Amino acid sequence: MEVGTTLNKEERNALIGFLVIYVVSAMVLVGIIAFLYYKKESMAIENHITMEMANVAMSVEKELMSAEMAGKPYTFSTPSAAFQVGLFDANETTVFSNLRTDTVEFSKGTYKSNSHEYYVAPLKAPVLGVNCIVIEGDQGLREKYKLLALLGTVVLFSAVFIALVGYFLSKLLIAPIKSRMEKLNAFIRDSSHDLNTPVSALMMSVSSLRNKPGVDGRVLNHISISAKLISQIYNSLSFIAFYDVDTVFDEYFDLKDTVQESVRFFDEIALTRGNTIHCELEKTMVFMDKSRIQKVLNNLLSNALKYSFPNSEIRITLAAHCFRIEDKGIGIKAEDKEAIFNRFERKNTSVGGFGIGLDIVKSVCRHYAITIAVHSTPEVGTTFELCFPKPDSIFDSA
């Protein structure tokens, strides 16, 4: 969750996109090279095997002719253990054969089946009743399978190598960004720590001055509002800076009371803009960290005040474990409804802010399985709806 060490959605997508493009483009190039190499070697294997089969056929024909010239019977034999031979007469009837198939396509010179290659050599003149010699073998296919296995292994290792190179390149690419983000995180953490004392002192001083006579009320209100705004900024900064180290204390509490505390906190700020906050609240028991839920409510109220029109009403309802806050203001474009929850994302720069409030809301809601819905119409208003899970406790019926 730390601001300096966690990549946001856009940064992760950019990094993943870089890796995908790099790996895919490199593998396409490797694949093209492997395919061209396979085609070349496959053709060479086919030519080599065809020549060997032709030599075997010539050898058998030579033996047939020798037997005929010597007036001796022909003794069938295979000149090479790698091949099988079939001798056929003019009617394509088997004379001698150790072929592994019963079907021969005599009309083709060379052809392949699923498991063997064939070479058909018709004789110019019959020899000892043999008109055609057929050679069968699987050596070429086996060599092609070996070639495919070799290329597959090379491509696989290439993919692993390219992926590793891409990973280290991406690490090298984001190293400066990560370093700057870590410095930003340290700055926010230190700033949050340093702000704590003066903010607390300022809030206490305002509270004590309210009980003293002779103090200008308007000046005190301005100081109080400024102190609350600084306090809200401090709370947001401290949350993202110390989220991972803060102790979480989950407890049962009435969300209605927490909403009322937040409304009281922002009432003074709302009055300066002429806004009113109207509440309809029901008792709602939850089991969560109260301080974190308070930050969620404060950020939603703060945003409602920032982006609502002056002299408009902000409506807050709490019923059936759903919290709704509705303002009448500038609204949110449909295409921006997801982006507004990204850290440091500000779709409207007409008001102040750091773009971290809704990121805090999203983080806390994700942690506690609180569902978020946003309904908005530009120049009309926005409604945020948070539905809280019901606690499994005796308070469910309260």
Chain Cα centroid distance, residue 354: 27
**Residue 351 belongs to domain with CATH number:** 3.30.565.10
Mean pLDDT of 351-379: 82
pLDDT one-digit tens code per residue, 171-198: 787 777 777 767 766 766 666 656 666 6
According to DSSP, the residues that pair with 266 across neighbouring strands are none
pLDDT one-digit tens code per residue, 118-143: 999 999 899 988 999 999 999 888 99
Please give the Cα distance from 82 to 219 (Å, whole number): 105
Residue 54 lies in a domain: yes
Q: How many domains does the chain have?
A: 2
- The pTM of this model reads 0.50
- What pLDDT sits at residue 35? 93
Whether residues 139 and 252 fall in one domain: no
Whether residues 125 and 252 fall in one domain: no
Residue 325 is part of which domain span? 247-397
Share of the chain above pLDDT 90, in %: 33
* pLDDT classification of 72: cutoffs 50, 70, 90: confident
Chain Cα centroid distance, residue 342: 16
Whether residues 112 and 253 fall in one domain: no
Which of 123, 143, 163 is the last residue before a domain boundary? 143
Please give the Cα distance from 290 to 297 (Å, whole number): 11
Residue 278 lies in a domain: yes
- What pLDDT sits at residue 2? 41
Cβ–Cβ < 8 Å for 64, 127: yes
Q: Which tokens go with 120?
A: 């058909």
* pLDDT classification of 22: cutoffs 50, 70, 90: confident
Residue 287 lies in a domain: yes
